[in-house]
Amino acid sequence: MKVDDQITSERANWSFSGKIAEGFDKHVLRSIPLYEEGHDLICKLSDFFCQPDSTCYELGCATGALTAKLAKRNEHKANISWVGIDKEPDMIKQAKKKNQTHSNIEFIAEDILLHDLKPSDLIISYYTIQFIPEKHRQEIFNKIYESLNWGGAFILFEKVRAPDARFQDMMTSLYVDFKADNGFTPEQIINKTQSLKSAMSPFSTQANYDLLSRAGFVDYMTVMKYVSFEGILAIK
């Protein structure tokens, strides 16, 4: 099934490997509202948390575009280590290929659940947790909280479900309009929805807040929102 002019997938079998990794950057810009604006906001938020000698992570880094922007934003601060982690080797291959100018970035192909996070000052998950099986999400939030130094931040961007069916219908309709306005055909929109079955399962805003709270976070707030796309800042 075609989900984009250059990308195909199968029903309930979305993957970030192969051709999807190669065409990911163009596809995601057309698929997620305020995608680059979210990058810009995260880079500006990093000013408050990145310090000389900090270790900072992007979980589910894809092609490394955001990690590279953060490294450039903070290049005047000495000895910051940036680590991008993604379980898809094809994504890491693209990240290494596209980001060869920053010597302080390490890209690792590994499952987040299996990676031992070092003490850190900033951890980012940009539309990643929604693709992790629900049964593992609390474990990941716990791991993130334990990794962060006191005063460190977790920045979480996710697609979220509405609080009731009426709002959900409206959000879904508006998102279909957004994709159609960005040039996706009705067939491609339906095919993408079909392909994401079992692969993506967004939580509500409150459910994400609950994950943060159970992990130990007390201070958190929504810092960006467009319909069903939301950015949350949590500080340890």
Tell me what pLDDT residue 181 has.
94
**151's tokens:** 């005063």
- For residue 108, list its beta bridge partners: 85
Give me the phi and psi of 105, to 5 degrees please. -110, 130
Tell me what pLDDT residue 189 has.
86
- Beta-strand (E) ranges in the chain? 55-59, 81-86, 105-109, 120-126, 148-159, 219-226, 229-235
Reported as a pLDDT band with limits 50, 70 and 90, residue 107 is very high
Contact status, residue 201 vs residue 130, Cβ threshold 8 Å: yes
Going from the N-terminus, what domains does the chain have, and what CATH number goes with each? Answer: 19-134+160-235 (3.40.50.150)
**160's tokens:** 């979220």
Reported as a pLDDT band with limits 50, 70 and 90, residue 16 is low
Reported as a pLDDT band with limits 50, 70 and 90, residue 10 is low
Tell me what pLDDT residue 72 has.
95
Contact status, residue 126 vs residue 157, Cβ threshold 8 Å: yes
Neighbours of 222 (CB within 10 A): 14
- For residue 122, list its beta bridge partners: 56, 153
Tell me what pLDDT residue 96 has.
93
Give me the phi and psi of 234, to 5 degrees please. -120, 135
**17's tokens:** 């490997």
**1's tokens:** 């099934």
Condensed to tens digits (0 to 9), the pLDDT of residues 163-201 reads 999 999 999 999 999 999 999 888 888 888 887 877 889
Condensed to tens digits (0 to 9), the pLDDT of residues 69-99 reads 999 999 999 999 999 999 999 999 999 988 8
